[in-house]
Amino acid sequence: MNGRYSMLDEFWPFYVSQHLNPVNRDLHFAGTTLGLLALAAALAAGRPAWLAAALVAGYGPAWIGHFFFEKNRPATFEHPLLSFRADLRMYALMWRGGMGAEIARLKTELARLRGA
C-alpha cells in the first residue's frame, strides 16, 4: 500500500486512504488555509522568516489530525512533494464540497489498498 509513486494520479488513492477521518480532513483544511494566509502575509510584509510560521500553521494541524484522529503517519514523511500536491487537490475538493464524493468514487480502490 505504501509503495513507490511517480505521479499524483497513482498516489491519490493511497493519499485518500490516509484521510478517511473527517476530523483529520477538517484539520488539513484549517491548516492549509492558515498556511496559505501566513505565506501571503510573509510575502506581503517582505519577511521571509515568517515562512516558518506558514509551515507550522500548515503542517501542525494536519499532523495532529494524523496522529490523534486518523492514527497513522503523515504521507509527507515518505512522499513530501506528492503529498503536498495531493493536499492541495483535497483542499480544492473540500472547497467545492466534493471530497465525500471522491471518497465514495475511490471506495473500491481504498478497500483494496487497506487489504479488506
CA–CA separation, 62 and 31 (whole Å): 6
Domain layout of the chain by residue ranges: 21-88
* pLDDT at residue 108, as a whole number: 78
pLDDT over 90 at 115, yes or no: no
CB 24 within 8 A of CB 66: yes
pLDDT, one tens digit per residue, over 16-47 is 999 999 999 999 999 999 999 999 999 999 99
Look-up of cell digits 473527517 = 22
* pLDDT at residue 49, as a whole number: 84
CB 99 within 8 A of CB 90: yes
pLDDT over 50 at 88, yes or no: yes
Full-model pTM: 0.87
